[in-house]
Amino acid sequence: MNRRNVIISVSVFVLLTGLVLTRGPHGMRRIQSGFLGMISPFLKSGSSMEKKYREFREGLKTLDQLEQENGDLKVRNKELSTTNQVLRGFEAENKQLRKALQYRASTTFNLKPARIIARDASTWYNKIIIDRGFEDGLDRNGDQPVLTEAGLVGKTTVVDDHTSTVVLIADETCKVSANVESTREQGIVRGERASNGAVPSIVLNFLSKQAALKPGQNVLTSGAGGVFPSGVVIGQVREFKARELDGQATIIPSVDFTTLEDVFVVIGKTKTETE
């Protein structure tokens, strides 16, 4: 700032000071009012900036809170997801038990419920151990049918006091007389040895070459042989092929042996026969 501008500024200041001093209270109020009017936009601007700054600071704090809440919600979501899976498992188990109880109440067989307590990985599709034995009403000689509400499982073999070994129909040593629903076709169902731990095939042999069975047809126990009662579902036809001497059908078992947990052992005579 040059000397001339300094002189002008000082003169204006002195003049304004003189005017303020020479005016009365009324004049002073007018000058103050005018001065406040001049600076009020700046005061408002400063207040607005302070408000925005304060909101910005509060916004930063809110972001931290939101991040924390988001982390808490993720943990809670995982907990709820785990709980939901457990409840779904209970629901599925409950439905399965209800179906089993309904089957037991409606069937004509005398059934002894049992739970699978052991399986050998090398014989997963061949044998199971159940928690029922001779002391629970099973025949010491074995050969009692084992089934579920879905269909035939196998038969008892070695029976101890409180446990029994059950050979499954997927085992090649378990042979079941069977017929195909709505046809005259009869044969023998047995498992075929599988290699490398693969799921074994179940086949129905000794059919006529002209059988021409269709996929989905039910295969049931025929009752021949005296071990298995008639009318128990074994599975459904997957494929039929005519061989040189007979016909053979590949069967899809009605029972899922991979998820099998509870079974029934058929003991004694049917209800109608014992009443």
Alpha helices in the chain (DSSP H): 3-22, 25-106, 271-274
Using CA atoms in the order 36, 39, 43, 48, what is the torsion angle rounded to 10 degrees? 130
| Residue 223 falls inside a structural domain | yes
With the C-alpha atoms ordered 25, 30, 33, 35, is the resulting torsion angle positive or negative? negative
d(CA 71, CA 51): 30
pLDDT at residue 266, as a whole number: 92
Looking at this protein, which amino acid is placed at residue 1?
A: M
Cβ neighbours of residue 246 under 8 Å, at least 6 residues apart?
Answer: 205, 206, 207, 208, 209
- Identify whether residues 265 and 173 lie together within a single domain: yes
If asked whether residues 178 and 266 sit together in one domain, one would say: yes
pLDDT tens per residue, range 107-157: 677 889 999 999 988 888 899 999 999 999 999 999 999 999 899 999 999
Average pLDDT over every residue of 56-71: 68
Residue 106 parent element (H or E): helix 25-106
Residues 219 and 143 in one domain: yes
Instruction: Give tens-digit pLDDT for 261-273.
Output: 999 999 876 554 4
- Return the higher-pLDDT residue of 246 and 273: 246
β-strand 201-207 against 152-159: which pairing, if any?
Answer: unpaired
Extract the tokens encoding 60.
């930063």
149 with 46, same domain: the answer is no
Both 48 and 140 in one domain: the answer is no
Q: Do the beta carbons of residue 248 and residue 200 sit within 8 Å?
A: no
CATH number at residue 258: 2.40.10.350
Rounded to an integer, the average pLDDT of 183-200 is 79
Residue 73 lies in a domain: no
Instruction: Give backbone dihedrals phi and psi of 177, rounded to 5 degrees, phi first.
Output: -70, 130
Q: Is the pLDDT of residue 274 over 50?
A: no
Residues 28 and 119 in one domain: no
Domain membership flag for residue 80:
no
Task: Judge whether 24 lies within some domain.
Answer: yes
In 89-246, the DSSP E strands lie at: 111-118, 127-130, 145-147, 152-159, 164-168, 176-180, 186-192, 201-207, 218-221, 233-242
One domain for residues 20 and 127: no
Residues spanned by the domain of 49? 3-57
99 lies in a domain?
Answer: no
Give a yes or no: residue 137 inside a domain.
Answer: yes
In this structure, the answer to whether residues 242 and 146 fall within a common structural domain is yes
Judgement on whether residues 185 and 52 belong to the same structural domain of the protein: no
Answer yes or no: do 156 and 36 share one domain: no
In a domain, 114, yes or no: yes
Q: Is residue 17 part of a domain?
A: yes
Q: How many domains does the chain have?
A: 2
For residue 273, the model assigns a pLDDT of: 45
Q: Quick count: other Cβ atoms within 10 Å of Cβ 126?
A: 23
